[in-house]
Amino acid sequence: MNDIAVLGAGMHPWGKWGRSFVSYGTAAARAALADAGLEWSDIGSVVGADTMRCGYPGYVAGATFAQALGWQGARVTSVYAACASGAQAIGTARAQILAGLADVVLVVGADSTPKGFFAPAGGERPGDPDWLRFRLLGATNPAYFALYARRRMALYGDTAEDFAQVKVKNAAAGALNPLARYRARVTAEEVAASAVVADPLRLLDICATSDGGAALVLSSMEFARRHGHADPVRVRAVSTVSPTYPKAVLDLPDIATDSAAAVDPAPHTFRASIARAAYEEAGIGPEDLSLAEVYDLSTALELEWYENIGLCPPGEGAKLLRDGATALGGRLPVNTSGGLGSFGEAVPAQAIAQVCELTWQLRGTAGDRQVPGARVGITANQGLFGHGSAVVAVR
């Protein structure tokens, strides 16, 4: 096994704080270092997940965080993969550790987001598919969240009431998480009464944009043992796969699918292939999971992730939810952190924050939202432009 150890996990609470992303990232980094029982001077490498909208320093996030913490000679790396940036940062750190380039690596992601929904950067960029989907289709994020929701309704008979129950479930978990932005329980009636944003999705069906930060201290197993961590949480797999041609299910920012006239589509969708690659590398299957953290950009999308990570066959995500299987206390809780519905999007930090939640759950330190006896967890999300993101952690 190519396991690496998670020695420390730290986060800055999500919210709208009005400060630089650097302050959130350094706060999370210091929390992770304290959790690991290490000093900043012990770190041999920093991998920063980039913040792209917030000025030049965001493009060199590794060096930005290293400077904020105090130059000490560590190697630095910066990565950008949209919502998968955090997973790619973890994957980069893992590669450095397994290659012997560093014994212990600090991974940091943080963001300070604009108010409202994400919009394209300025300028004319016809070669940028993300710019094109705004310019040609007017497709804001909620618009294509709604397209996914409508697709589920048409194919599987999911209802707006099913989507609302995802919010009810995640809000109940978020109410128990002191790091979450939204910590109030909600009812299905409150979801139904919230404003329509992109039919059939309402305001409470869609995640907000948020400020926040997350960090991990990762090391070789040998380093962990030398520093008193006899049985740490371990990262066993990191999946950052890309789609397989032909990609026959529309996935924005692409505004058309590949042609399947000459070549049959792969047997699994892109999102399903992300988890399958993680399972294969880790040597486990969905049946081995204790919990999962998945990307609930919208309530409807969470149901799709149930199917993509193999918790149930296609079209049965809503039934799994209705049966209570994915709630706290259920057979396989999903989004015990409260998910993005409780946190909001702080893009470079999100995939790192998911692994923080797995770490606390596998340690048995998640408090009132603890999954009893948690031993194996998976994270899953997807970045624009074909970036897969899944991490398997074990104890």
Helix, strand and coil content of the chain, in percent to the nearest 5, comes to: 40, 20, 40
Closest residue by Cα to residue 35 from 217, 292, 178, 168: 217
Please tell me the predicted confidence (pLDDT) of residue 131.
85
The average pLDDT across 72-89 equals 95
Tell me the percentage of the chain whose pLDDT exceeds 70.
98
Mean predicted lDDT score pLDDT of the chain: 94
pLDDT range class, residue 132, cuts 50, 70, 90? confident
CB 299 within 8 A of CB 164: yes
Kindly provide the b/e burial profile for residues 205-243, where b requires at least 16 CB atoms within 10 angstroms of the residue's own CB: bbbbbbbbbbbbbbbbbebbeebebeebbbbbbbbbbeb
Task: Say which residue, 133 or 155, is predicted with more confidence.
Answer: 155
The average pLDDT across 352-374 equals 98
Can you give the C-alpha Rg of the chain in angstroms? 20
Has residue 58 got a pLDDT over 70? no
Specify the pTM: 0.96
Closest residue by Cα to residue 28 from 43, 49, 13: 13
Please tell me the predicted confidence (pLDDT) of residue 114.
82
| 333 upstream amide cis, omega within 30 of 0 | no
CA distance 241 to 223: 29
Has residue 54 got a pLDDT over 60? no
Task: Say which residue, 250 or 159, is predicted with more confidence.
Answer: 159
Which pLDDT tens digit goes with each residue over 268-277?
899 999 999 9
Has residue 322 got a pLDDT over 90? yes
- Beginning with the edge strand found earlier in the chain, give each strand of the sheet holding 376-383 in spatial order: 75-79, 45-49, 104-111, 211-219, 4-15, 233-239, 387-394, 376-383, 291-294
The average pLDDT across 56-82 equals 90
Domains along the chain?
4-116+211-233 (3.40.47.10), 141-205+236-394 (3.40.47.10)
- Tokens 């797999």 belong to 237
Which pLDDT tens digit goes with each residue over 265-311?
888 899 999 999 999 999 999 999 999 999 999 999 999 999 999 99
DSSP 225-261: HHTT-SS-EEEEEEE-----SS--S--TT-SSPPP-S
CB 79 within 8 A of CB 88: yes
